Structure 1
Amino acid sequence: MLKFIVRRLLIMIPQLLLLSIIIFLLAKAMPGDALTGQMVANPNLDPETMEELREKLGLNDPWHEQYIRWIGNLLQGDFGISYVHNVKISDLLGNRMANTFLLGLLTLIFAYLIAIPLGIIAGRYPDSWMDKLIVGYNFVSYAIPLFVFALLMLFLFGYTLNWFPTGGSVDVQVERGTWDWYLSKLHHLILPSISAALLSTVGTIQYLRSEIIDTKLKDFVKTAKAKGTPERKVYTRHIFRNSLLPVAAFLGYDIVFILGGSIFIEQIFNYPGLGQLFVSSISQRDFSVVNILVMLFGFLSILGTLLSDIILSIVDPRIRID
């Protein structure tokens, strides 16, 4: 296992290097540069002053020199500066990363609390009225676009019933660190996380249902029943445990979603996370922030495959990764 992890981590180095080159070249191919967003935000800036800044920052240098300088700073932990917000990118990402982590974590919890019981019921009682309702829910949730469903949830529970806030991550009038501040934080998280969770249960429900139905027909289950093992123990010790393998296989990608976040959810609910920052940085041409965010999402995607393999080998002792 240790050799496998080390080997995969070493493979990640050229993958991330290639990703950084592609990202940097795509950013250079887009119209404008790192200062373009600042010019759009402040149209009264003197063009001569901006040209002097470009020369000072090395934005007029050949692309390979700019790339070497950028990747060198990145390896030293220097993410650069957002010229639109006039702050360090590391400071800009701090609170937003925490917000996205909380949103993704709560979404993941809600998704599994909904999907696992429904998948077990649908698999244990196939073709029953409960199974038909769950399969129907699966089809509907798969067909509805996330942004449409999120808008409906926001309109119904945010504006019409006024049960939840319609934007932000916390009430600005509450003092930070108090009990009311944490309750306000949770209150702002519930509606967007439930909206995302209700439409992200499709894969887990379907995989779990299919695996339970297939596992019930296997020989070791028939042998356990022939020995007189109670049906409840057959499901908990044999069927359910083996049926969790596909769910565990995708757990690594789900964990990546915690930090990757949902761009649609954060935009619709005006939630200040990484997804919202990514969209606003593109529209404002803040390429230095866009480059770092794409690198972060790419790193998390590569890391997700590694986590999935490790988790799967832990859940299923029959699998050994050498």
Structure 2
Amino acid sequence: MLKFILRRILIMIPQLFLLSVLIFLLAKAMPGDALTGQLAANPKMDPKTLAEMKEKLGLNDPVHIQYIRWVKNMLHGDLGLSYTHQQPVTDLLAGRIGNTVLLSAAILILTYLIAIPLGIVSGRWTDTWADKLIIGYSYLGFATPLFIFALIMLFIFGFHLGWFPTGGSVDVQVEEGTLAYYLSKLNHLMLPALSGALINTVITIQYLRSEIVDTKVKDFVKTARAKGVPERHIYWRHILRNSFLPIAAFLGYEITGLIGGSVFLESIYSYPGLGQLFLQSIMQRDYSVVTALVMISGLATLVGTLLSDIILSAVDPRIRIE
């Protein structure tokens, strides 16, 4: 197992290198540079002053020199300076990453709490009214874009019924660290988390249902029934155990997908996380923040893939590549 993990980590090194080169070249290919956003905010800036700032920042250096300096700074934890917010990108991300992680974790927990029971019911009692309702819900979820569903949820439960706040991550008047503070965080979290979870469940439900239906007719299940094993033991020890393998393998990709999905949720619900910051930085041409967030997203994708492989090899050692 350790050999397998080490080999997968070594494979990530050239992948990270290629990812960093691609992100840097795409950033350089975008119109403008790191000072474009600041120039837009202050159009009367003296051209001489602008040229001096470019020279000071090394924006006139050859591309390969700029890339090497960028990578060195990243390895030392320096992600550059946000010219829109006038603060280091590291500090800017530190103030928002907690909200994104909290939202992603809440969506993931709610997704599995909803999807696993529904998938088991749909797979075990196929062609019943419950199965047809669950399949109908899945088809509706597949057909509904996340941002449309989030807007509907916001309108109904936020504006019309007033059950949940319509923006922010916590009430500004509560004192941090108190019970009222954490209850306010939970209240602001529930609506975007439910919106993301109710859409994400459809994939897990379909995976689990399909695996249960396929596993029910396999030879080892028929043999267990022929030996008189109780039906509930067959389902819990044989069918469900094998059916959960693709769900376990999908966990890492699910975590990665939540980061991308949070861009829409955080923007719609005005939730101050990395997703909202990403869209704002693109609009304001704050390239230091954009490149840092894209790099973090790419790294999360690689880590999610590694996590999926580790989970799958731990659950079923037979498929582990040695």
TM-score range, shorter chain: over 0.9
Letter in 1 for 2:268: I
Asked if 1:20 is matched to 2:20, the reply is yes
Q: Kindly provide the CA deviation profile for residues 103-147 of structure 1, in whole angstroms up to 9, marking residues without a partner as x.
A: 000001111111101100010011111111100000001001111
The 5 A counterparts of 1:96-115 are 96-115=96-115
Q: Which moved more, 1:39-48 or 1:236-245?
A: 39-48
> Which residue pairs with 1:145 in the alignment?
145
Cα distance between partner residues in 2 of 1:278 and 1:109: 24
How many residues align? The count is 322
Cα distance between partner residues in 1 of 2:175 and 2:29: 45
The secondary structure found in structure 1 opposite 2:290 is helix
Q: Kindly provide the CA deviation profile for residues 24-48 of structure 1, in whole angstroms up to 9, marking residues without a partner as x.
A: 1111111111111112223343332
Native 8 Å contact 2:259 2:275 kept in 1? no
Cα distance between partner residues in 2 of 1:146 and 1:225: 43
Q: Which moved more, 1:47-56 or 1:228-237?
A: 47-56
> Which residue pairs with 1:189 in the alignment?
189
Letter in 2 for 1:311: I
Asked if 1:222 is matched to 2:211, the reply is no
> Which residue pairs with 2:277 in the alignment?
277
For structure 2, the residue ranges without an aligned partner over 5 or more in a row are: none
The secondary structure found in structure 1 opposite 2:200 is coil
> Which residue pairs with 1:11 in the alignment?
11
Cα distance between partner residues in 1 of 2:209 and 2:227: 25
> Which residue pairs with 1:316 in the alignment?
316
The 5 A counterparts of 1:26-105 are 26-105=26-105
Cα distance between partner residues in 1 of 2:10 and 2:114: 37
Q: CA deviation at 1:95?
A: 2.2
Cα distance between partner residues in 2 of 1:136 and 1:302: 34
Letter in 1 for 2:223: T
Q: CA deviation at 1:23?
A: 1.0
> Which residue pairs with 2:129 in the alignment?
129
Letter in 1 for 2:17: L
Cα distance between partner residues in 2 of 1:318 and 1:126: 30
Q: Kindly provide the CA deviation profile for residues 68-97 of structure 1, in whole angstroms up to 9, marking residues without a partner as x.
A: 111111112211111111111111111211
What is the TM-score with the length of structure 2 in the denominator? 0.97
Divergent runs of 4+, >6 A = none
Cα distance between partner residues in 2 of 1:213 and 1:17: 43
Cα distance between partner residues in 1 of 2:132 and 2:206: 12
> Which residue pairs with 2:291 in the alignment?
291
Native 8 Å contact 1:36 1:285 kept in 2? yes
Letter in 1 for 2:177: G
Cα distance between partner residues in 2 of 1:138 and 1:259: 22
Q: Percent identity among equivalent residues?
A: 67
Cα distance between partner residues in 2 of 1:164 and 1:47: 49
Cα distance between partner residues in 2 of 1:87 and 1:156: 38
Letter in 2 for 1:222: K
For structure 1, the residue ranges without an aligned partner over 5 or more in a row are: none
Native 8 Å contact 1:103 1:261 kept in 2? no
Q: CA deviation at 1:17?
A: 1.0
